[in-house]
């Protein structure tokens, strides 16, 4: 026991009291003594268990009056002084703080303190308290707090990019609405979608996809002010909330983001390039709640994508109807697949020298139960976006091969059947396996088949396309480049595609053909160039004799168009073939 300068309690009394306390509370009691409420406190007595807990002896405290407070963690000292002040005013307290043990180890202590007064004089005598080692409990508590924080993070942040997730984005939009109402501001919501992210994911794997998303998230944040929020909704969809920003400001930021994300990304050994489409809604004009604002920005993003990608687009009310139509078509397309509402029409391709059908192009038609015949121009893009084109494309190929076989059985075989392939089909895995299986199953020779690719299909996926073409060539399949002149129009690019057989001049050039028109020069230039590359030329959309004559003069081999025949069904084409056969 340490001596106190106060007329202390009898030592034996105190020890008794403390050991009783120790026993009762199973704590390590100590006595703190203070000369005045404002002076440093020193320990005047410690029990056995305090010695065991701290490693300090009673003498240590005696020799160094400030030892106790000096060993309290600096961050906790202020709280202790304030609490002791309350104790001296008669209020018992319980406090927690970190205390450095004699061996240097920090421990969390829980301390109960109470003022003891001299009964006779009612003056403060000492402060009596007890320590409990709380380290384990506090660690467990900290771990609990951490795991609660972790749960909070998981609930509010996207684990891949660390950006706010849908839940937190919604909260932030609601906050933005609140601030904007209070301050009479606008704010803007950007809905971003990476164009063709799926290609990266599907062709290179999730590792590259994930790494790309992380880099996109980082780049996105670099383009924003601290008051703005960037979040990830999932997949390749991001949202940006631009606080206090009107339409002009939003357009500037959207352009900045699009340009910044256009710069190539380095992921491991690969350099990846993507584009971004952004839809924008502005508060309050385009919606008064977070759900409407997000939905409208999403709709505008869709418009940006269909306008050509790598662009931004503002929401306007007409878009709602467009989207609803699109969603209805998508729903109906799924039904069309399961109920087989498709059919194939064939458009003859006429050889200009012999005027015979040397090929036909298979063109899909959709017999919608309510809308009637729907043009592929209207539903192929929707099928592509909704990931339905592979199923539909496979059906087309199979149907075309079955029809080839049926014609062969009827004795018609001297013509090729061209089938259009969409970019998504080439991006999907195992297209070659699908093509070769269909040929095998239907018993059709590859040389009867021609596959039509567009310039953009070839450009976007050059290496994979060349691989696919090489494999198909072994089966005798021919390839044509469709709608030539409307895509990248890089004539020199054609030289990089030695596996091409046919070039199809797009209808837009053919329809411009008239005396003294520039389009004529373009058509003859395309024909000449194709010839120099030893490609056959088919002119699409030939409707008049004038066009036909001009094309013949230019050296074009084959024509396809309403002048000879519009696309017709299997039976009518069979009649046309029969007619040709009987003329021979």
Residues of this chain that interact with Mg ion (CB under 5 A) are 420, 452, 482-483, 540
**Residue 509, SS3 per DSSP:** helix
Alpha carbon distance 475, 404 (integer Å): 16
Q: Which of positions 484-543 make contact with ligand C2E (CB under 6 A)?
A: 507, 540-543
Name the one residue in this structure whose structure tokens are 């109470």: 114
From the list Mg ion, ligand C2E, none, pick the one residue 380 interacts with, judged by a Cβ distance below 5 to 8 Å according to partner type: ligand C2E
Report the distance separating Cα 511 and Cα 171, nearest Å: 55
Tell me which residue of 73, 136, 78 sits closest to 99, measured CA to CA: 73
Q: At what angle do helices 389-409 and 431-442 cross, to 10 degrees?
A: 30
Secondary structure of residue 154 in the 3-state scheme: helix
377 or 545: whose CB is closer to ligand C2E?
Answer: 377
Stretch that binds ligand C2E, among 236-244, 375-383, 485-493, 495-503 (CB under 6 A): 375-383
Residue number, 350 or 497, with CB nearest to ligand C2E: 350
From candidates 190, 283, 567, 577, binder to ligand C2E by CB under 6 A? 567
Helix, coil or strand: residue 46 = strand
Q: Which helix (H) or strand (E) holds 525?
A: helix 518-532
CB of 423 to Mg ion, least distance (A): 13
Torsion sign, CA atoms 333, 337, 343, 345: positive
CB of 169 to ligand C2E, least distance (A): 36
Work out how close the CB of 270 gets to Mg ion at its nearest, in angstroms, rounded to a whole number.
33
Which span (9-17, 29-37, 317-325, 559-567) binds ligand C2E, by CB under 6 A? 559-567
Size of residue set near ligand C2E by CB under 6 A: 23
Nearer to ligand C2E by Cβ, of 99 and 468: the residue is 468
Question: At residue 281, what are phi and psi to the nearest 5 degrees?
Answer: -125, 145
Give the residue closest to ligand C2E by C-beta: 561
> Which of 176, 253, 274, 380 contacts ligand C2E by CB under 6 A?
380
Quickly list DSSP for 270-328.
Answer: EEE--EEEEEEEEETTT-SSHHHHHHHHHHHHHHHHHTTSS-EEE--THHHHHHHHHHH
Q: Does 377 bind ligand C2E (CB under 6 A)?
A: yes
By CB under 6 A, is residue 422 in contact with ligand C2E?
A: yes
Closest CA to 436 of 425, 449, 427: 449
Binding of ligand C2E at residue 465 (CB under 6 A)? no
SS3 479: strand
Residue 249 engages ligand C2E in binding (rule: CB under 6 A):
no
* Polymer length in residues for the chain: 584
Q: Is 581 an interacting residue with respect to ligand C2E (CB under 6 A)?
A: no
Across-strand partners of 417? 360, 449
Should residue 349 be labelled a site residue for ligand C2E when binding is judged by CB under 6 A? no
Q: How far is the CB of 420 from Mg ion (least distance, A)?
A: 4
Q: Please report whether residue 562 would count as binding ligand C2E according to CB under 6 A.
A: yes
Q: Where are the alpha helices (DSSP H) in 46-185?
A: 48-54, 58-63, 67-70, 74-88, 135-156, 166-183
Query: Could you say which of 376, 408, 499, 522 contacts ligand C2E (CB under 6 A)?
Result: 376
**What is the C-alpha to C-alpha distance for residues 301 and 240, in angstroms, rounded to an integer?**
13
Shortest distance, position 479 Cβ to ligand C2E, whole Å:
14
Cβ atoms 186, 283 nearer than 8 A: yes
Which residue lies nearer to ligand C2E by CB, 539 or 554?
539
Residue 527: name the closest of 510, 546, 511 by CA. Answer: 510
**What does 438 bind: ligand C2E, Mg ion, none (CB cut-off 5 to 8 Å by kind)?**
none
Shortest distance, position 574 Cβ to ligand C2E, whole Å: 19
Is residue 396 part of the contact set for ligand C2E (CB under 6 A)? yes
Residue 217 binds ligand C2E (CB under 6 A): no
- Which residues make Cβ contacts (< 8 Å) with residue 38, sequence separation at least 6? none
DSSP SS3 for 490: coil
Q: How far is the CB of 510 from ligand C2E (least distance, A)?
A: 8
> CB 338 → Mg ion: shortest distance, Å?
26
Spatial separation of the C-alpha atoms in residues 455 and 462, rounded to whole Å: 10
At its nearest, how many Å lie between ligand C2E and the CB of residue 535? 17
Interaction partner, residue 562 (ligand C2E, Mg ion, none; CB < 5-8 Å by kind): ligand C2E
The answer to whether residue 374 forms part of the interface with ligand C2E (CB under 6 A) is no
Residues that bind ligand C2E (CB under 6 A): 347, 363-364, 375-377, 380, 393, 396, 420, 422, 452, 482-483, 507, 540-543, 560-562, 567
């Amino acid at each position: 026991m340490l001596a106190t300068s106060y007329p202390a309690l009898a030592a034996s009394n105190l020890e008794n009291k403390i050991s009783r306390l120790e026993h009762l509370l199973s704590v390590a009691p100590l006595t703190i003594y203070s000369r005045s409420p404002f002076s440093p406190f020193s320990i005047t007595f410690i029990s056995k268990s305090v010695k065991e807990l701290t490693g300090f002896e009673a003498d240590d405290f005696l020799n160094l009056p400030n030892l106790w407070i000096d060993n309290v963690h600096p961050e906790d000292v202020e709280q202790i002084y304030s609490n002791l002040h309350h104790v001296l005013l008669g209020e018992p307290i319980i406090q927690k703080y970190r205390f450095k043990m004699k061996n240097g180890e920090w421990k969390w202590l829980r301390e109960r303190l109470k003022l003891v007064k001299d009964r006779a004089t009612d003056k403060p005598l000492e402060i009596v308290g007890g320590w409990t080692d709380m380290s384990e409990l506090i660690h467990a508590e900290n771990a609990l707090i951490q795991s609660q924080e972790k749960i909070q993070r998981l609930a509010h942040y996207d684990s891949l990019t660390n950006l706010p997730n849908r839940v937190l984005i919604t909260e932030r939009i609601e906050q933005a609405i609140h601030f904007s109402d209070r301050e009479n501001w606008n704010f803007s919501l950007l809905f971003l979608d990476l164009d063709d992210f799926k290609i990266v994911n599907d062709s290179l794997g999730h590792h590259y996809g994930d790494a790309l998303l992380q880099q996109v998230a980082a780049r996105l944040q670099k383009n924003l002010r601290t008051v703005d929020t960037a979040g990830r909704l999932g997949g390749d969809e991001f949202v940006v909330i631009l606080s206090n920003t009107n339409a002009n400001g939003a357009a500037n930021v959207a352009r900045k983001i699009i340009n910044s994300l256009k710069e190539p990304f380095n992921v491991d050994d690969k350099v990846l390039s993507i584009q971004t489409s952004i839809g924008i809604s502005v508060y309050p004009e385009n919606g008064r709640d977070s759900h409407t604002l997000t939905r409208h920005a999403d709709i505008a993003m869709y418009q940006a994508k269909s306008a050509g990608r790598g662009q931004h687009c503002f929401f306007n009310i007409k878009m709602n109807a467009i989207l609803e139509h699109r969603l209805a078509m998508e729903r109906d397309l799924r039904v069309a697949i399961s109920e087989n509402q498709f059919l194939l029409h064939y458009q003859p391709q006429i050889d200009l020298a012999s005027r015979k059908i040397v090929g036909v192009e298979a063109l899909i038609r959709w017999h919608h139960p309510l809308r009637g015949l729907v043009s592929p121009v209207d539903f192929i893009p929707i099928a592509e976006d909704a990931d339905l084109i592979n199923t539909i494309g496979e059906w087309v190929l199979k149907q075309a091969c079955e029809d080839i076989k049926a014609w062969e059985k009827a004795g018609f075989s001297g013509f090729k059947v061209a089938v259009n392939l969409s970019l998504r089909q080439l991006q999907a895995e195992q297209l070659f396996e699908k093509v070769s299986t269909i040929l095998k199953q239907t018993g059709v020779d590859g040389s009867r088949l021609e596959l039509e690719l567009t310039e953009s299909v070839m450009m976007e996926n050059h290496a994979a396309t060349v691989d696919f073409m090489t494999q198909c060539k072994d089966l005798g399949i021919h390839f044509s480049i469709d709608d030539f002149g409307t895509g990248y129009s890089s004539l020199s690019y054609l030289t990089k595609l030695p596996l091409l057989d046919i070039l199809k001049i797009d209808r837009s050039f053919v329809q411009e053909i008239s005396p003294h028109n520039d389009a004529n020069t373009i058509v003859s230039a395309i024909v000449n160039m194709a010839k120099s590359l030893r490609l056959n030329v088919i002119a699409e959309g030939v409707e008049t004799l004038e066009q036909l004559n001009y094309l013949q003069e230019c050296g074009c081999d084959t024509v396809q168009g309403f002048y000879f025949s519009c696309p017709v069904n299997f039976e009518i084409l069979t009649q046309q073939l029969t007619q040709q056969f009987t003329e021979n």
